[in-house]
Structure 1
Amino acid sequence: MKIISTPIELKEYLKNFNKTIGFVPTMGALHEGHITLIKEARKANELVVVSIFVNPTQFLKGEDLDKYPRKDEADKKICELSGVDILFFPDASSIYSKDEVSILAPNVRGFVLEGFSRPGHFSGVLTVVMKLLNIVNPTKAYFGKKDAQQLNLIALMVKQYFMNVEIVGVDTVRDSDGLALSSRNVYLSTKDRKEALKISSSLQTAAKMILKDVVNVENIIKEMREVLNPLEIFYVEILNLDFEIIKEVELGNTVILVEAKVGDTRLLDNIWL
């Protein structure tokens, strides 16, 4: 595995490769969910590139940028054992300059759900993803479906900017207790983790209702909120795959999304139906 730390070096290294490239952008603190993304990239591409970069522009003032979990040596080993060909490990000074061109999240989709409570977050996400895609120029780029809104916006950006890359969404990986894997799970105490299971339980409740032919969105959300009580809920929404409001669940075109705070930690989860 080759480790590269600057965009110029990576672009220079890749320019002579006439191979399909699978790219997995991450913020490190790798877990089984990231390994699944890497495996999917490995199966479908001749070369696999992983980036580890804790992107400062997607953190709002007072958020956990400084304490975001960093496990650099462990992450390098995980990448090596997972068959990664190139690990891109830049610092912020090589990615950003003092006078940046701005990429803004769309006015509607970028400022609802997580974007409502974290204004500007998705502008930072799209900016860094645009930069990384331009540096790596991959055939396919892999993102987890757990961050459904992020995945939707990245796919929208690629479409609207006519970018030559396929965005691949990969199913959420869960722990044995049902909790969606996340680098931020390390923040959870034993008590918090038990409370966090209400998030996946609320989604299971929704799925069971739908299996019993309950498709009214308002009724499903009401039941989900009862399961989530007393967590601080940022949103519970049921949308179509274009992230538009719907009144009834349509199988094959629905995503159910939850964001809630457990202790001091914000957690996201969803199911795609």
Structure 2
Amino acid sequence: MKVFTEIRAIREHIQTERFAAAGKGQNLTVGLVPTMGYLHDGHASLLHKARQISDLVVLSIFVNPIQFGPNEDYDRYPRDAEKDLALAEREGVDVVFMPSAQEMYPEPIRTKIKVEELTERLCGASRPGHFDGVTTVVGKLFHIVQPDQAFFGQKDAQQVAVIKQMVKDLNFGIDIIPCPIVREADGLALSSRNVYLTPEQRQAALVLSKSLHFVEEKAKSVGGVIVGDIRSDLIDTISSEPLAEIDYVEITKFPDLTALEDPDRLDSIGSDVLIALAVKFGSTRLIDNVILEKKVLTSC
């Protein structure tokens, strides 16, 4: 496993690997797993999928300052490079890219990538400018690494939708491969931010997966359930947990994230449906979601 901190060096290495493969009559495919580090089993599942599909697996570890708002947790975002590299080695990563903020942004950035409409709701509504930072850094990583595939966790379903739209609109020619949410045995979705939770908050946070599981089963058994009932069930269940403070409970089409109205019947939507939550426990904001497939809703 090779570790690079400079853009020039990783570009040269990947180009050398591609040329070497071409010299043997082979087409080397490159898979990129972009992360902010503090890796856990959710990230490991992305790396495992990349290892199955791509010839050369590249892991990026970069806490991106331009996707954090002024009152968010950039400075205290958890970091553990030694642990991250050990996990990368264990998962068979070929190349790790760990640039500094100075390497990625040597001057104040004046050019950003903005995906309109999809970024204006859900997390985009409560974190203005967040997705501009995400798409910009991912765009930079795509240009640096030139991957054939890129792997993202479905836990941030909005991010997946936004990145897919960016790739389509800007003709990146990269396959975006979403990977399922990985959960603890008790249902809590894995997140680097879980480390912030007190034991009491962590127990309280189980209300997220429990409420989603409840409405998912309800929707699957009664496809004609209306959006308003699902929304009310979620709000009532989460609000019953004293430590939970709801940021949003949203039900949208997926992947275009068009908002659904309370009278809408799930089995008449005509697309997959995203049920997404953002809830704070103390100062820690967690997200979770479930995607109901069209074929399941219409078969009920």
**Scaled by the length of structure 2, what TM-score is found?**
0.88
CA deviation after TM superposition for structure 1 residue 105, in Å? 2.8
Structure-2 separation of matches of 1:138 and 1:85 = 13
The letter for the 2-side match of 1:45 is: S
* 2:21 matched residue in structure 1: none
- 1:130-209 equivalences under 5 Å are 130-209=139-218
* 1:272 matched residue in structure 2: 291
> Which range is displaced more, 127-136 or 222-231?
222-231
* 2:36 matched residue in structure 1: 27
**Contact kept? 2:46, 2:152, Cα under 8 Å:** yes
Gaps of 5+ in 2: 19-27, 293-300
The letter for the 1-side match of 2:237 is: V
Deviations 1:111-152 (A, max 9, x none): 211111110011000110000011010110000000011111
CA deviation after TM superposition for structure 1 residue 99, in Å? 4.1
Q: Secondary structure at the match of 2:272?
A: coil
* 2:252 matched residue in structure 1: 239
Is structure 2 residue 101 aligned with structure 1 residue 92?
yes
Gaps of 5+ in 1: none
The letter for the 1-side match of 2:12 is: E
**Contact kept? 2:115, 2:166, Cα under 8 Å:** no
Structure-1 separation of matches of 2:253 and 2:220 = 18
Structure-2 separation of matches of 1:23 and 1:7 = 15
Structure-1 separation of matches of 2:153 and 2:202 = 21
* 2:14 matched residue in structure 1: 14
* 1:116 matched residue in structure 2: 125
Structure-2 separation of matches of 1:98 and 1:204 = 46
Deviations 1:181-200 (A, max 9, x none): 00000000110011101111
Aligned residues: 273
Of all paired residues, the percent bearing the same amino acid is: 42
CA deviation after TM superposition for structure 1 residue 23, in Å? 0.7
Q: Secondary structure at the match of 2:116?
A: coil
Structure-2 separation of matches of 1:112 and 1:264 = 21
The letter for the 2-side match of 1:257 is: A
**Scaled by the length of structure 1, what TM-score is found?**
0.97
> Which range is displaced more, 15-24 or 71-80?
15-24
> Which range is displaced more, 228-237 or 146-155?
228-237
Deviations 1:91-115 (A, max 9, x none): 0111113242422433322121111
Larger Rg: 2
The letter for the 2-side match of 1:15 is: Q
Structure-2 separation of matches of 1:167 and 1:257 = 21
Deviations 1:40-87 (A, max 9, x none): 000001110000000000010021111100011010111011100001
